[in-house]
Each structure stands twice: as structure tokens, then as C-alpha cells.
Amino acid sequence: MHLTAPNPLPERADDAPKGARRRLALIVDDSRLQRRILCKSVRAWGFDVIEAASGDAALELCRNVTPDLVLSDWMMPGMNGLEFCHAFRQLEGEDYGYFILLTSKSEKDEVARGLEAGADDFVSKPVDLNELRARITAGDRILQMQRDLTGKNHLISQTLQELQRLYDSIDKDLLEAKKLQQSLVRERSVVLDQGHVSLLLRPSGHVGGDLVGFFRSGDGHLGLYAIDVSGHGISSALMTARLAGYLSSTAPEQNVALMPNPDGTYRIRAPLAVMGAINNLVLNEMDTEHYFTMILADVDLNTGRVALAQAGHPHPVVQRSDGRIELAGPGGFPVGLIHDAEFSQIDLQLQPGDRLLLCSDGVTECPNGSGELLDEDGLETIMRDLHGITGPAFFEALVWKLSEFSGHQDFPDDVSGALFEYQPVADA
């Protein structure tokens, strides 16, 4: 195998653009004289030049460096120009080499074979240098576009990698935020002497804007609440964390729904007054555009009487012990929209075996495949079907029913609920 050593870098030719990047050309021809003629001309056109006397030798050179331009004779002993072109295109690398075959072949089928092998252009032999330079100039425009595209692809790839790193970091933070938000509802199922409390909190994403919970007081009352903050995501979740502090079950001195007694115990304030207090706190102390719907119920565990205030939240549902469904509640205006909003309160009476359900609009507005919503009628149907299921199993069955209705397990909105089943000890 005859392989000529790479030529030393020549002086910049007079007609090479000033400040331009020196490009690399590979001349492949078994004729020493033909190589010398081509090398001299191509070098004068602003290229650094390496040369090879055969396709095999040229392929070895290309394994180490990808030339910008390849001028290769077609007819050579051993690996011919067509075979070399095909092998050249199989080499891995991001840079593209513009390949011109030098040939005396002019038949269309031969030209097609060359194009299929990966050649970009053809120059007939004997080579006309003016034609060759024009074809190299045309090829150089293609190479410049390819270099620009490669540079942009590198930039896009780096940007995507950075975005992926940021996404992974955010995703990790959101997973931690999900754990923290779920910890706001520490007790999902609590059995009391006078009944059973069960809670459901299922955000549509990592975190959501729903919150449910309960708190007890020293006078035999139970506070039960459900909240749905406008919007979704992190800002809504932060709002729920703030609201959880206002209705804390572990720090009664911070709970705006509780009032201290002289003996150090606490009693529940009227839900109507609590709604007004929270409304003013949100508007005066929080710089936010979020508002929220809410239900707050004061359950007298000894008598079953319920004082309930509703602020734009879906109607509470009372299911009697015989399975009958009753929707209650005054409707009302959401919390956090206007100062001095007026809220109203109603009274309900639970009998042993009755239960009270507070749920978010993620339940009643759950869509099916046709875009139809479950609505309150659908919820009533589900509750009748689940009449005999109690405690946490009720919410598990409710979620299953919603999945069956919607056709998938991922819901477009947060799904939450609070269930109180009234069962005094004497009737247990």
C-alpha cells in the first residue's frame, strides 16, 4: 500500500478569504501526476491538503480525521473510488465530508450508483479546473450550512441537557413537596366514641390545591373542613399549607376556629364567624390572587347536630342510614375574593347510622371520555351503590368508581373528601 505523508500546512493562498477557516481536502488518485496537479490547485483555493494513492490508504486517513472535501478517482486498483465512498460514509462522526468523484463515466446508471454510494457530485475526466473550483464552491456552501446546523444542534443538545437537569431537580423538589403536603393530613382515618372520620387527598399532579381535615375541641365538638384553592400546582399547594395552619388540629391556640375556655380547653366558634375571619386574614395578610371554596362543619358529637357554612364549595351530602341522599348547604361566595363578604350557615341533624360527605369539585366535575361530567346526580348514584361500604374503604371504592366513569386513573383535577359517619357509643 502506498500512502503519502500528509503535506505540511502551506502558506495561505492569496485568494483564500482573509480570516477564513482553513479547510481540509483529501485527494485520492493512483496517479502521482494527477494528485500533484489537484493538490496544487486545491491548496491555492484555501485548503490544507492530504493525499492518498489508493482507497484503502485514504480510508485509514479518514479514520483519524474527517476531511471537509474529498476528491477521489473512480477507477483505482484495489478499493476503487465507489467502494471507498461507500466505506467513507459508514465512518462514525458528526462532521460531514463533501465527496466528489472524478470519473470518465457518464452513463446515468453509473451516476446513480455513485449517488447511492454517497457521492455528492461528479467531475468528468480530464478535469477542468474551472469547473472543479465551481463545484467545490457549491459544495462549500452546503458544508457551511451543515457546520451551522451542527453548531445549533450542539447548542440545542446542551440546552436540553440543562433543562433535563433542571427538570430532575424540580421533580425531586416536587416529590418532597408532595410528601410535605400529604403530611398536612396526618390522620386519614380516626375512630371516635361517637363516629368515624375518614379523609381523602389525591392531587392531580405532584402537589395540588385541595385540603381536608378535622380538629376536636374540649366540649365534645368536632370541626370538619374541606378546601379547594383556585388553580393547581406549587402556588396553590403553598396556599393550602398556610390555610392548614389556620385550622391546625395540633396547635389549638393558632386555630382561628377555636376559642379558649377559662379552664384552658377550647370550644368551636360558629362556622359563619370563622369563614368571615379567614376571608379577612387572606385579604389582609396574603398577597395572592388565589381564592378558595370551603365548607366548615361543627359537629356536636353528643347530639348529632351539625352547624355548617358553605363558601362556593360543592354541596355537602348527607346519606341517611336507609341509603337516602340529601343535598344541603346555602352555596355561598368563595373565600378571599372581596372584603366583608357575607356568608351563611345552616343546621343539619344526623341520626345514628347517617353520614356526612364533603368533597371537592374534582369529584362532581370528573369528566368521562365524551366530556360529560359526573355531576351531583352521578355522585348520588355512587353513594347509593357504596351504601354498605364504610371508613377508608368508602374512599377507595369512590376513586375506583371515578376511574371507571372517566376511563383512566389520572384525574384532571384534585380529588379530595372528608367523611363523617355518626355512630354514638350507645348505638354501636
The DSSP secondary-structure symbol of 254 reads G
Give the strand pairing for 195-202 and 415-422: antiparallel
Domain co-membership, 269 together with 409: yes
192 in a structural domain = yes
Give the strand pairing for 23-28 and 69-73: parallel
Domain co-membership, 117 together with 234: no
Domain boundary among 153, 174, 204: 153
Domain co-membership, 192 together with 148: no
Average pLDDT, the chain: 87
Q: What is the C-alpha separation between 30 and 119, in angstroms, rounded?
A: 19
CB atoms within 10 A of CB 357: 24
Q: Which of 44, 83, 46, 60 is nearest to 4 (CA)?
A: 60
Look at residue 426 in the predicted model and tell me its pLDDT: 55
pLDDT band at 245 (very low <50, low <70, confident <90, very high): confident
DSSP element (H, E) containing 196: strand 195-202
> How many residues would you count in the chain?
428
CB atoms within 10 A of CB 331: 11
Q: What is the C-alpha separation between 55 and 66, in angstroms, rounded?
A: 15
Domain co-membership, 249 together with 392: yes
**Set of cell numbers at residue 182:** 400529604
159 in a structural domain = no
Give the residue-averaged pLDDT of 320-346. 89
Give the residue-averaged pLDDT of 311-340. 91
Supply the pTM of this predicted model: 0.65
224 in a structural domain = yes
Domain co-membership, 201 together with 269: yes
Q: Which of 38, 112, 30 is nearest to 69 (CA)?
A: 38
Domain boundary among 109, 128, 153: 153
322 in a structural domain = yes
Q: Domain span at residue 250? A: 186-427
12 in a structural domain = no
Domain co-membership, 281 together with 212: yes
Examine the pLDDT at 319 and tell me if it is beyond 90: yes
When mean pLDDT is compared across 40-44, 153-157, 172-176, 190-194, the lowest value belongs to 172-176
* Collapsed DSSP state (helix, strand, coil) of residue 30: coil
Angle at 51 between CA 46 and CA 53, to 5 degrees: 150
Domain co-membership, 247 together with 389: yes
Contact 270, 278 (CB under 8 A): no
Domain CATH for 82:
3.40.50.2300
229 in a structural domain = yes
169 in a structural domain = no
Domain boundary among 130, 153, 176: 153
pLDDT band at 287 (very low <50, low <70, confident <90, very high): confident
**Per the structure, how many domains does the chain have?**
2
* Collapsed DSSP state (helix, strand, coil) of residue 289: coil
C-alpha 304, offset from chain centre? 46
Q: Kindly report, residue by residue over 25-42, the tens digit of the pLDDT.
A: 999 999 999 999 999 999
**Which is higher by pLDDT, 205 or 358?**
358
5 in a structural domain = no
Examine the pLDDT at 105 and tell me if it is beyond 80: no
